[in-house]
Amino acid sequence: MTAVKNVVIIGGGAGGAMLANRLPSDEFNVTLIDKEGYNYYLPWLLYVAFKGSRREMKRSLESILKPNVRLIKSTVTAINLSDKWIELINGKRINYDYVVIAAGADVDDSKINGLHDLMVRYGNYYTNEENALKVWRTLNSIKEGTLLIAVSDPKHRCPPSPMEGAFLAEEFIRSRGLSDKVKVVFATPYPRPYPAEPMNEVVEPIMRERGIEIVNFFTLDYVEPNKQVMRSLEGDELKYDAAIVVPPHVGARLKYYPEDVIDSDGFVLADKLTNRIKGFDDAFVIGDASAVPVAKTGVTAHLEASVVARILMGEDAKNSGRTNCPFDLGYGLGTFVIGDYYTPVVKYPPNKINHMMKMAFAAIYWDMIKYPELWDPIFDSFFDATNPSILKRIYG
Q: Taking the domains of the chain in order of start, what are their residue ranges?
A: 1-43+53-104+252-318, 109-248, 320-396
How confident is the model at residue 183, as a pLDDT? 98
Report pLDDT for 396. 74
Are domains 1-43+53-104+252-318 and 109-248 of this chain identical in fold? Answer: yes
Q: What is the pLDDT of residue 333?
A: 98
Kindly list the distances between the CA atom of residue 214 and the CA atoms of 8, 163, 196, 218, 382, in Å, as whole numbers in the listed order.
45, 11, 16, 10, 34
Given a cut of 70, whether residue 1 has pLDDT beyond it is no
- Domain 1-43+53-104+252-318: CATH class, spelled out: alpha beta
From the candidate CATH numbers 3.50.50.60, 3.40.50.620, 1.10.3720.10, 3.40.50.300, the one assigned to the domain spanning 109-248? 3.50.50.60
Residue 271 pLDDT more than 60? yes
Query: Quick one: average pLDDT of 272-293?
Result: 97
Express each pLDDT in 90-111 by its tens digit.
999 999 999 999 999 999 999 9
Q: Average per-residue pLDDT in the chain?
A: 96
What pLDDT is stored for residue 2 in this prediction? 64
**According to the model, what pLDDT value does residue 123 have?**
98
Mean pLDDT score, 74-91: 98
Q: How far is the C-alpha of 101 from the C-alpha of 63, rounded, in Å?
A: 21
Q: What are the tens digits of pLDDT across the range 299-328?
A: 999 999 999 999 999 999 999 999 999 999
- H or E element in which residue 121 lies: helix 115-122
144-166 burial, b at 16+ Cβ within 10 Å, e below that, comes to eebbbbbbbbebbbbbbbbbbbb
Query: Is the per-residue pLDDT at 274 higher than 90?
Result: yes
The answer to whether the pTM exceeds 0.75 is: yes
Residue 287 has pLDDT above 60, yes or no: yes
pLDDT digits (tens, 9 = 90+) for 179-234: 999 999 999 999 999 999 999 999 999 999 999 999 999 999 999 999 999 999 99
